[in-house]
Amino acid sequence: MKLASISGLTCQSADLDRTVAFYESLGFRVGKRENDQVTLYVNWFWMTFVATDGPVEPGTASAVHIKVDDIQEAYAEVVAAGYKPAGEPAKRAGGGLEFELADPDGYRLVLFYKK
């Protein structure tokens, strides 16, 4: 499988407004914003923050998004290696296909393909 790039992260946020202010002060720009989530960009790299109730434990609900050249090939190789993805490649918000795979420590990897 050929990995193309790591494109972004998904994290929880206890206060989206505070999160946006912090990342904007570092030079990120706001992309799509909804009531329960916001995506911030620096160049091509993105971070999506999802609102949560209460404090956020470090490392929880994080996902590393990894772009692949061929989603079906990537899925087949992951399964052939003996790993168990959360499901088969499925449509992702914004287009393309994705599937999730947990690493040995439970961190979520989202392998995706989008033109």
User: pTM for the full model?
Assistant: 0.65
Of residues 77 and 64, more confidence is placed in 77
The mean pLDDT value of the chain amounts to: 87
Tokens 């206060």, residue located? 15
pLDDT of 59: 59
Of residues 10 and 61, more confidence is placed in 10
| 17-28 tens-digit pLDDT | 988 998 898 788
Q: Please state, in angstroms and rounded to a whole number, the distance separating the CA atoms of residues 65 and 52.
A: 20
| 100-110 tens-digit pLDDT | 988 765 678 89
Closest CA to 67 of 86, 87, 81, 46: 46
Q: What is the mean pLDDT of residues 43-64?
A: 79
Residue 79 burial by Cβ neighbours in a 10 Å radius (0-12, 13-18, 19+): middle
Tokens 């994705």, residue located? 98
Residue 22, φ and ψ in degrees, nearest 5: -60, -55
How many angstroms separate the Cα of 15 from the Cα of each of 4, 9, 32, 33, 54? 32, 17, 16, 13, 9
What is the percent of the chain where pLDDT is above 70? Answer: 94
Q: What is the mean pLDDT of residues 61-86?
A: 90
